[in-house]
């Protein structure tokens, strides 16, 4: 694919409960845990949409170039969280993925973030244009919309 941009596709929603081992000395979810949750959500979305299989079939894999996260409110042990993610765009070898983390009990937006992913050849590790077959997986997947938050 050239340097053209492909717009956002459907979102993916994953619900989970905050485990005790995610809590830091301040009594709330540690900031580093959100980065793990971002990666976990991206992996789940890619698997559910067929994107993982399509990347493997094309001989490619994803690497992270950067993460950005904004922490808005703390989460605590036992909180039920909805992690929502979607691909904002595909451009050349890059893909920007967005995330939102919402506590279900009060619909409070806890954090939002983004990851810049780079498509690389699995054999050489060099940048590789995102295959059209991969993009199609994210544009046609039938996932729910992200929840509204406060």
Going from N- to C-terminal start, the domains of the chain cover: 5-140
Q: What is the pLDDT of residues 104-126, one digit of tens each?
A: 999 999 999 999 999 999 999 99
Mean pLDDT, range 11-36, rounded to an integer: 95
Across 133-140, average pLDDT:
89
Q: Residues near 121 by Cβ (< 8 Å), separated by ≥ 6?
A: 59, 60, 127, 128
pLDDT of residue 81: 96
pLDDT-derived band at 150, boundaries 50, 70, 90: low
May I ask the CATH architecture of the domain 5-140? Answer: Roll (3.10)
Residue 71: per-residue pLDDT: 97
Q: Say whether pLDDT at 148 is over 80.
A: no
Dihedral angle of Cα 6, 8, 9, 10, to the nearest 10 degrees: 180
The predicted structure's pLDDT at residue 11: 87
**What pLDDT score was predicted for residue 147?**
56
Q: What is the pLDDT of residue 139?
A: 83
Q: What confidence tens digit (pLDDT) does each residue in 50-96 have?
A: 999 999 999 999 999 999 999 999 999 999 999 999 999 999 999 99
Say yes or no to pLDDT of 25 above 90.
Answer: yes
Residue 10's pLDDT band, with cuts at 50, 70 and 90, is confident
């Amino acid at each position: 694919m050239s340097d053209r941009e492909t717009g956002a596709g459907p979102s993916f929603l994953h619900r989970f409960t905050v485990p005790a081992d995610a809590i830091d000395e301040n009594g709330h979810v540690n900031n580093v845990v959100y980065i793990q949750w971002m990666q976990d959500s991206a992996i789940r979305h890619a698997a559910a949409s067929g994107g993982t299989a399509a990347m493997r079939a094309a001989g490619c894999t994803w690497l992270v170039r950067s993460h950005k996260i904004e922490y808005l409110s703390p989460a605590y042990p036992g909180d039920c969280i909805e992690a929502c993610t979607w691909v904002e765009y595909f451009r050349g070898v890059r893909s920007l993925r967005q995330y939102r983390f919402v506590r279900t009990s009060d619909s409070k937006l806890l954090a939002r973030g983004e990851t810049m992913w780079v498509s690389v050849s699995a054999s050489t590790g060099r940048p590789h244009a995102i295959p059209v077959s991969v993009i199609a997986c994210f544009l046609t997947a039938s996932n729910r919309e992200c929840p509204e938050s406060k």
